[in-house]
Amino acid sequence: MINLNTLNLSIIIPLLNEEESLEELFGRIERVCSSENLSYEIWFVDDGSTDLSWSIIENLKIENPQVHAIRFSRNYGKSQALHAAFARANGEVIITMDADLQDFPEEIPELYAMVVNGDYDIVSGWKKKRFDNVMTKNLPSKLFNSAARKVSGVDLHDFNCGLKAYKKQVVKSIDVYGDMHRYIPVLAANAGFRRITEKEVKHQARPYGTSKFGTERFIRGFLDLVTLWFVSRFGGRPMHFFGAVGTLMFIIGFFAALGLGISKLIAVSKGVYGHLITDNPWFFISLTMMLMGTLLFIAGFLGEMIIRSNREHKNYTIDEII
């Protein structure tokens, strides 16, 4: 439920060495929010910048009480930056955007209106017309997005768009760790927030500086997607995965070994000696199968124990308390 008497908006801006953009960015946010009568606060998160970004933010803060900022001691990554600001944001709607001016602050009012009027949990930006390098960004990101859609069932074109709007309770309920900023809508969907939609947003080439993510983004993005898939399917019940695969492998190994033993006995009973069980490749296969099966079973068991001992950690989402 959105209460219109409180602070409308928290605008969260993670940044790493974006000194050229900050003043213009702030000016445009200020202009568009005051012309639409939106009350807002800004949370800059300086993710270990080594340029003048922080002192520019300090200067903005002097004249503008709605500016808040967090400065990390070193570069922890965009996910951590979002995490820190999500915990502190007070607005009824939270908007995240990149600091590099690739996203347009002028989109803010409409994103806000969609969350409030459409009662959406998340309105995610979609850079339909994208101004990045085709080979290093646009194509790979198409692949990623379609994989993420398949894995998560969340129907978005552009999971990783920096410009997104959230209902406050969404950002308070999810835990953005690792490099999971790419998949926040999936985290939210896993936490039970299913009213997710997208809005086409304008995008432009980076006017200043360079991209802060290199090619390692693909490897990390892929691994995080695998983690997400696994955690969302089996995270609450690891035994169902490891136990099932482990038991299956053990049974195959066991019967293979049994067959070997029986054929040896039959051979001996017929008076045929000299063939060693270890000459048969199935001996090694069955041995490995039984070993791996046992190990997987133990992994599942340990997983269950870990979950049990972490029970006090919140893993449910409350809709309303009256």
Please report, as ranges, the residues that interact with ligand UDP according to CB under 6 A.
14-16, 18, 47, 75, 77-78, 81, 98-100, 102, 162, 211-213
Closest CA to 71 of 23, 148, 135, 16: 16
| Residue keyed to tokens 């296969």 | 285
Could you tell which of ligand UDP, Mg ion, none binds residue 167, using a CB distance below 5 to 8 A set by kind? none
- Nearer residue to Mg ion within complex by CB, 22 or 289: 22
Distance CA 218, CA 204 (A): 22
Residue 175 backbone phi and psi in degrees, to 5:
-120, 100
- Nearer residue to Mg ion within complex by CB, 21 or 286: 21
- Nearer residue to ligand UDP within complex by CB, 140 or 235: 140
Segment 249-288, which members bind Mg ion (CB under 5 A)? none
Considering the complex, what minimum distance in angstroms separates the CB of residue 138 from ligand UDP? 11
Distance CA 64, CA 24 (A): 14
DSSP assignment string, 121-132: SEEEEE-SS--S
| Cβ-contact 15, 103 below 8 angstroms | no
Name the one range near Mg ion by CB under 5 A: 88-96, 99-107, 240-248, 296-304. Answer: 99-107
- Nearer residue to Mg ion within complex by CB, 19 or 100: 100
3-state class (DSSP) for residue 255:
helix
- Tell me: does residue 121 bind Mg ion (CB under 5 A): no
- Tell me: does residue 102 bind Mg ion (CB under 5 A): yes
Could you tell which of Mg ion, ligand UDP, none binds residue 99, using a CB distance below 5 to 8 A set by kind? ligand UDP
Structure tokens at 126: 């979609």
| Residue keyed to tokens 């908007």 | 95
Distance CA 115, CA 196 (A): 10
Considering the complex, what minimum distance in angstroms separates the CB of residue 134 from ligand UDP? 14
Closest CA to 186 of 199, 176, 200: 176
- Tell me: does residue 10 bind Mg ion (CB under 5 A): no
Could you tell which of Mg ion, ligand UDP, none binds residue 15, using a CB distance below 5 to 8 A set by kind? ligand UDP
Binding residues (CB under 5 A) for Mg ion: these are: 98, 100, 102
